[in-house]
Amino acid sequence: MDPLDRQVKKVYAAEAEVFGTHKDIPDLSLRELRQFGREIQRSAWWLGAFPARPTIPIKDGRGSEDARHQDGAAHIPKDARRQDVVIHEFCHAVMPQWLEWHGAAFCGLLLWLYGKAFGESVKTQVEKAFRRNRVIWDRRAAQFGPT
């Protein structure tokens, strides 16, 4: 873990509260995960928010314990193949690389993406989990997205 990424553990804890642990949600096949990723990136809201963004491929993440965004792709190992992980990694993909990995801007945009992908009720659940875990997020990014 990056020592400069001060709230990474808090973010992961909040997401686990809402989406469960790896054992709670059945993993999708790589094919199913890629289909979900294509559906997200072809949606009107995604195309409106990120019109110039190249497609983010989903790779199998072999040799890695954790999902990660690297080289323009989301690398998702077998035990992390869930829709919420795709959204989290896509958020990393669209964020400027000079911003803190799990900082306020990232967390605000992540909330916005969760709301678009899964609905406002899920977004609200994540916001509540963020509060319980003392995660700081940008309120404007959470409300308006990348405007």
pTM of structure: 0.93
Exposure letters 52-66 (e unless 16+ CB within 10 A, then b): eeeebebbebeeeee
Q: Which fold is adopted by the domain 8-144?
A: Zincin-like (3.30.2010)
- What are the tokens at 71? 């080289």
Per domain, the residue ranges of the chain are 8-144
Per-residue pLDDT of the chain (147 residues; tens, 9 = 90+): 566 778 999 999 999 999 986 555 668 999 999 999 999 999 999 999 999 899 999 999 888 888 998 888 999 998 899 999 999 999 999 998 888 899 999 999 999 999 999 999 999 999 999 999 999 999 999 999 987
